[in-house]
Amino acid sequence: MAVNRNFRTCPSTGLVYHEPAEKLIRWNAVAGVVSLLVGGVLALLVTLTRWPAVKLLPPDWFYLALTAHGLDMLVFWIIFFEIAVLYFAASTLLKCRLATPKVAWAAFWLMIVGALMNNFAVFKGDSSVMFTSYVPMGAHPLFYLGLILFAVGALIAVFVFFGTLVVGKAEKTYNGSVPLVTFGAITAAIIATFTIAAGAIILIPTFLWSVGLVSHIDSLMYRTVWWGFGHSSQQINVAAHVSVWYAIAAIVFGAKPMSEKVSRMAFVLYILFLQLASAHHLLADPGLTSNWKIFNTSYAMYLAVLASMVHGLTVPGAIEVAQREKGFNKGFFEWLRKAPWGNPCFSGMFISLVGFGFLGGISGVMMGTEQLNLIIHNTIYVPGHFHATVVVGTTLAFMALTYFLIPTLFRRELMFPGMAKWQPYVYGLGMCAFSVFMMGAGTLGVPRRHWDMAFSGAILPHEFPGTAYLMMGIMAVSGIAAVVGGAMYLLITVGSVFFGRKIETPGFKRVPVREGMAPPPAPVAVAPAGHGAIGLGGFVAPGTFVLAMIFLVSFVLYYFVNWKYLSTVWPMN
Amino acid sequence: MSQDPAQAAPADDDVGDEPVPMMQQLCDNPFLLLFLGVAMPTVLYIVWGVMEIVGIPISK
């Protein structure tokens, strides 16, 4: 069987694209963006319903919309785009042909069929079981089957990624270790393997239960194994978007990691410990011991948090060093003031980094503490946290990367460049405010998922303070701002990809490459290379150090405030 | 006979002879990382968790 070895080199970036990989990256990215469109429309409906003054949808439509929103955003948008990132990180960054493109296409179509089937089951109206689909709530069998097919397709795509690494090594398309961004993608792929396996372990019997072949699924067993899938699927995002941060720092600034060894070790910590944080969803469940809960959420999860803090320090640190070396060396923050804030690729990445760290990271550690978790368990604080991690962190990072991919991968000029400058701010800041006010309302006890926070008509209604209603209102307004930002992104990307002016390359042709592409290893300079006269007071990145200290103080204060709050809601004196 | 200076440079030989550090060997082996990344949560989260649930006495 003939192997397609046709490559093209992007004239503006020098990136090398393998022909089948390029098509697969495009199609996976487009499928992701279509899922984002569907999920975004549903996001608007959900937000307008949770706005107490509006309550747009009736209860049954609300639960339907919330279920579809969760799945389209947390599973289909994110994983389609992640597969595109995996193929990019393996094939393009290693200058390597994609292993088994036909199998990769089979995986793609399996994922498409699975996503369509699952959406069909939800929109049919008898599968409004939320993203978590806790048993004994039952959904239509197509709901589970769709998820299983999607997961199998994604697993095959992950194996194609690993196969591409083997091809690159065998054909010597790179020397030594893989680049850091590819290493981050390996981390994401490893987490994806565990995630999908956990999903299969629980979703296959649940599918059999839905068709009557299995009589009973234990609800605690379901919750425990399902969260191995449900939470870990969001950890794939973390590894993927951190890789995107490193990639954008390199693309926009030519920044090199401050210490590649430390960054790689942080990814290894993710591989070993990040997935154990799934246990924080079960902190209020009886039946599981404190040993299991505390080991998984505290001891192990803190090592993964340490890794996130390393990435959160080294990415801006690398940018600061690169900027200072370019001459922006005055004071603590000239490097940041003079950063290209009008470039959506950078601004999106930076808002993603700060929002993920300050909002998602700090709240995640608080939630992962067994005692503190009691304050906010199953309140709207929880979606506040994961909108900060998954939406501000991952989605915004992926959006930022798209602005780089449109000219280089799709070979189209960006449409509406003025709008593109503003898009990360409208979307990112809208979503940051959305998360903050959700967390605020959650701290006051407003429940998550519930159609009506006032429990109108219930035998035991609950009266929340006016502040809670105010926060829910501000949350909704911020959410609408974020939806506008999302619509701007869709308009720019869809417009550019389908209607944007084509970037013509004179004399363009794909070049067949028989074996290998890596140049022979160059002799390594022995003399240690310093950073010259940049920085302040012996620090090469003093601005980042100050930001890290601000983060640390915020972290400690917030943690302390929550313990104090716990002591007031649960008097122990 | 002329000799390629890059091949003759002693620094190259030094680089080639240096043992690869253990952590780098680990990081350069994606399949070993895959094994560790799947085994750790399987044992510490799923197997341990399932054992605890199975150990809960059933009411009569």
Strand partners, A536: A539
Instruction: Report d(CA A451, CA A458) in Å as an integer.
Output: 13
Give me the amino acid identity at A216.
H
Using an 8 Å CB-CB cutoff, list chain B residues near A289: 52
Helices assigned H by DSSP within A232-288:
232-253, 260-273
Using an 8 Å CB-CB cutoff, list chain B residues near A218: 53
Count A/B contacts: CB-CB distance under 8 Å: 95
- Cα torsion A38, A92, A342, A315 to 10°: value is 100
Q: Which of B33, B42, B48 sits opposite A186 (nearest CB)?
A: B33
Predicted model pTM: 0.92
Q: Do A221 and B53 touch (CB under 8 A)?
A: yes
Strand partners, A502: A412
In A203-230, which positions are buried (b, 16+ CB within 10 angstroms) versus exposed (e)? Answer: bebbbebbeeeeeebbebbbbbbbbbbb
Å from B49 to nearest chain A CA? 7
Q: Would you write out chain A's pLDDT as a tens digit for each of its 573 residues?
A: 678 888 888 888 888 899 999 999 999 999 999 999 999 999 999 999 999 999 999 999 999 999 999 999 999 999 999 999 999 999 999 999 999 999 999 999 999 999 999 999 999 999 999 999 999 999 999 999 999 999 999 999 999 999 999 999 999 898 889 999 999 999 999 999 999 999 999 999 999 999 999 999 999 999 999 999 999 999 999 999 999 999 999 999 999 999 999 999 999 999 999 999 999 999 999 889 999 999 998 888 889 999 999 999 999 999 999 999 999 999 999 999 999 999 999 999 999 999 999 999 999 999 989 889 999 999 999 999 999 999 999 999 999 999 999 999 999 999 999 999 999 999 999 999 999 999 999 999 999 988 888 888 888 878 899 999 999 999 999 999 999 999 999 999 999 999 999 988 776 777 777 655 555 445 555 454 555 677 787 888 999 999 999 999 999 999 999 999 998 886 665
Residues 6+ apart with CB under 8 A from A33: A77, A81, A490, A493, A494
Rounded to 5 degrees, what are φ and ψ at A472? -65, -35
What share of chain B in percent tops pLDDT 70? 72
Give me the amino acid identity at A203.
L
Helices assigned H by DSSP within A391-465:
396-408, 417-443
Instruction: Report d(CA A270, CA A46) in Å as an integer.
Output: 33
Cβ A174 vs Cβ A168: under 8 Å: yes
Strand partners, A8: A17
**Strand order across the A6-9 sheet:** A16-18, A6-9, A511-512
Instruction: Report d(CA A291, CA A293) in Å as an integer.
Output: 6
Check the CA dihedral A238-A239-A240-A245 and report its sign.
positive
Instruction: Report d(CA A431, CA A435) in Å as an integer.
Output: 6
Q: Do B40 and A526 touch (CB under 8 A)?
A: no
Q: Which of B11, B33, B45 sits opposite A271 (nearest CB)?
A: B33
- The CATH architecture of the domain made up of A19-253 is Up-down Bundle (1.20)
Residue B39 forms contact with A (CB below 8 Å) = no
CB atoms within 10 A of CB A480: 17
Minimum CA–CA partner of A190 in chain B: B34
Q: What is the ipTM of this complex?
A: 0.91
Q: Which of A225, A523, A526 sits opposite B46 (nearest CB)?
A: A225
Distance of CA A126 to the CA centre of its chain: 29
Q: Which of A165, A228, A289 sits opposite B52 (nearest CB)?
A: A289
Q: Do A268 and B6 touch (CB under 8 A)?
A: no
Minimum CA–CA partner of B9 in chain A: A523
pLDDT on residue B5: 41
Chain B interface mutation, best of A271, A297, A299, highest count of B Cβ atoms under 10 Å: A271
Which residue, among A510, A370, A366, has the nearest Cα to A22 in the 3D structure? A510
